Amino acid sequence: MPSAFTHAFAAFALGKASGVKRQVRFWVLSVFCAVVPDVDVVSFYFHVERGSMFGHRGLTHSLLFAVLLALVVVWLGFRKTPAFSQRWWKLLLYFFIVTASHGLLDALTNGGAGVAFFAPFDATRYFFLWRPIPISPIGLRFFSQRGLEVFWNEFLWIWIPASLVVGVVLLYRRLRVAREVSSSLAARFQRLSLEYPR
């Protein structure tokens, strides 16, 4: 899997690129959704069979889990948002994408089990054809030479491209706001010119 740091950064990048109004709670829940699928690593300690629905990259990495977690997060974390309102749907979609991003990034790794995207309906494990990310050491083993090499690779393949995408999105938004302000000022000036001709 990519490291927890990279999953958290993916949530940060998605949050910056989203049009959702952001608060501290928003960021905490974003990081939570991005990293919580790996709660299934406890299966290693219980000797769950590799490839099991309840094993690593199984049920908690599925799209169904992403939907259910998004529903719970929006319901508990944004109680003042009216259900089924436009903001409610935006939040639901956002937290679904953040949670699902975990499995999508795991499917880009070069080892381990594939991701059971369609669990519990289908136990098939999937990888993407292009897998440039080496699997990350788990736990304290991450803080080693091997972990440093993995993190550098994640930085090249995830952090830099995600940062560039966020930069482009933010630049586009600023230019759009500037264009709208400019158009508004031009329209106001034109009205004034018609009302008070020289």
Please give the tally of structural domains in the chain: 1
Distance CA 191, CA 95 (A): 45
**Residues with Cβ within 8 Å of residue 189, at least 6 apart in sequence:** none
Taking 70 as the pLDDT cut, the residues of the chain under it are: 1-2, 139-141, 185-187, 189-190, 192-198
- At residue 196, the pLDDT reads 60
Residue with tokens 């010119």: 193
Whether the CA torsion 130, 139, 119, 124 is positive or negative: it is positive
**Residue 139: domain span:** 4-195
pTM (two decimals): 0.86
Question: ∠161-10-85 over CA atoms, to 5°?
Answer: 120
pLDDT per residue as tens digits for the range 1-20: 568 899 999 999 999 998 77
C-alpha span between 56 and 50 (Å, rounded): 8
* pLDDT at position 163: 96
Looking at the DSSP bridge assignments, the partners of residue 102 are: none
